[in-house]
């Protein structure tokens, strides 16, 4: 267990962190624009992963096609959730949409497990020999998945910071009334935001599914680490959320030899509680006062 072991853990943690980062990004979008912690984030990922598995079961072996199905399914569900539930709850404060999102998360998961059962599925991948980089064995799939996650993050950042709709989205996040008064089509902003959330969670679900196993609880289990990252990074700072998620992911993996597997899961929750106690604004966020 030399340094190569720890570097291996760090690389594993970084890819894990990027996956959490995608979920944190999705949480951050809804937190900033829709103003509530969205508990369906994890289950949107699960639905994406199952859509990918469904394509695989139908005999299509292309990972890209499976990924496309994952993104499509998550986007469709995200849009449906907005149109049928969250749109009606706009302006009802934070708690109503949060409770609804918890109810929807439970509903989505139970419908999924009703039809797909509790069996675990895996994406069939050809076995590849790990490539050696400076004497450290690295799974080439990890590099691929990390790359896909990174591209997805960059794409969302580009939309947020370089496109007109991204600018409008940030305006709505800053001040809804002011944004509406200055002629921004708020309905369109929400629509695009939820589509973006579906896109990000679809990619996240696929990446998570390929790295681990596909089961009904897979997304829900990502929720608290992702909340931790979103809060650690600071609400309203998408880059902060992704960076924080990397920190959470690497810290979780690196702590495994010391803390053991059970406490590894607890680490993210501890980070969350400590950060909120000490610095509620997160590492990169604005200071938000109580009430």
Partner 1 sequence: MLAYITAVAIVFCIYALLTLSLNLHFGFTGLINFGHVGFFAIGAYAAALCSLNGMPYVVGFTAAAALAALAAWPLGLLALRLREDYLAIVTLAFSEIVRVVITAEEWLTNGVQGLPGIPRPFASLGIGGNAELAYLALVVTAVVLAILLIRHLVRSPFGRLIQAIRDDEVAVKALGKNPAGVKVRVFMIGAAIAGIAGALYAHYMNYIVPDQFLPLVTFYVWMAMILGGAGSISGSLVGAGVLIGILEGSRVVRDLLPNVMQVEMASLRLALVGLLLVLFVLYRPNGLMVKRDES
**Is residue 266 at the binding interface for partner 1, with CB under 8 A as the rule?**
yes
Q: How far apart are CA 281 and CA 233, in angstroms?
A: 8
The H or E element spanning position 169 is: helix 164-174
**Is residue 105 at the binding interface for partner 1, with CB under 8 A as the rule?**
yes
Min dist. Cβ of residue 102 to partner 1 (A): 6
Query: Closer CB to partner 1, residue 117 or residue 137?
Result: 117
Residues of this chain, 202-261, that bind partner 1 according to CB under 8 A: 224, 227-228, 231, 260
**Is residue 83 at the binding interface for partner 1, with CB under 8 A as the rule?**
no
**Is residue 194 at the binding interface for partner 1, with CB under 8 A as the rule?**
no
Q: Are 196 and 159 in contact (CB under 8 A)?
A: yes
Query: Closer CB to partner 1, residue 71 or residue 229?
Result: 229
Instruction: Give every CB contact of residue 27 below 8 A, 6+ residues apart in sequence.
Output: 37, 38, 41, 226, 227, 230, 241
Burial annotation 104-125 (CB, 10 A radius, 16+ → b, else e): bbeebbeebeeebeeeebebee
**Is residue 80 at the binding interface for partner 1, with CB under 8 A as the rule?**
no
Q: In the beta sheet, which residues pair with residue 137?
A: 132
Residues of this chain, 28-67, that bind partner 1 according to CB under 8 A: 31, 36-37
Number of neighbouring beta carbons within 10 Å of residue 267: 19
Q: Are 20 and 221 in contact (CB under 8 A)?
A: no
Q: Which of 58, 62, 110, 140 binds partner 1 (CB under 8 A)?
A: 110
Tell me which stretch binds partner 1 (CB under 8 A): 3-11, 161-169, 242-250, 275-283. 275-283
Instruction: Give every CB contact of residue 81 below 8 A, 6+ residues apart in sequence.
Output: 40, 104, 194
**Is residue 109 at the binding interface for partner 1, with CB under 8 A as the rule?**
yes
Positions that interact with partner 1 (CB under 8 A): 31, 36-37, 85, 88-89, 92, 94-96, 98-100, 102-111, 113-114, 117-118, 224, 227-228, 231, 260, 262-263, 265-266, 269-270, 272-273, 276-277, 280, 288, 290-291
């Amino acid at each position: 267990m030399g340094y190569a072991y720890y570097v291996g853990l760090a690389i594993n943690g970084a890819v894990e962190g990027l996956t959490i980062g995608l979920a944190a990004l999705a949480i951050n979008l809804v937190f900033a624009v829709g103003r509530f912690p969205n508990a369906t984030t994890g289950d949107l990922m699960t639905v994406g992963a199952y859509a990918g598995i469904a394509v695989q079961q139908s005999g299509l072996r292309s990972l890209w096609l499976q990924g496309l199905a994952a993104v499509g399914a998550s986007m469709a569900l995200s849009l449906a959730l907005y149109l049928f539930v969250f749109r009606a709850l706009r302006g009802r404060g934070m708690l109503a949409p949060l409770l609804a999102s918890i109810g929807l998360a439970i509903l989505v998961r139970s419908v999924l497990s009703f039809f797909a059962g509790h069996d675990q599925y895996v994406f069939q991948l050809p076995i590849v020999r790990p490539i050696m980089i400076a004497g450290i064995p690295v799974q080439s799939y990890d590099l691929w998945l990390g790359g896909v996650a990174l591209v997805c993050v960059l794409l969302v950042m580009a939309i947020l910071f370089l496109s007109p709709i991204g600018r409008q989205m940030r305006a709505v996040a800053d001040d809804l009334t002011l944004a509406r008064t200055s002629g921004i089509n708020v309905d369109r902003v929400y629509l695009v935001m939820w589509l973006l959330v579906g896109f990000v969670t679809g990619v996240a679900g696929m990446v998570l599914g390929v790295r681990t196993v596909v089961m009904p609880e897979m997304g829900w289990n990502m929720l608290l680490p992702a909340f931790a990252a979103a809060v650690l990074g600071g609400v309203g700072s998408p880059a902060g959320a992704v960076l924080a998620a990397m920190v959470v992911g690497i810290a979780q993996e690196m702590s495994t030899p010391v803390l053991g597997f059970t406490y590894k899961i607890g680490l993210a929750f501890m980070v969350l509680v400590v950060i909120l106690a000490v610095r509620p604004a997160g590492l990169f966020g604005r200071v938000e006062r109580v009430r």
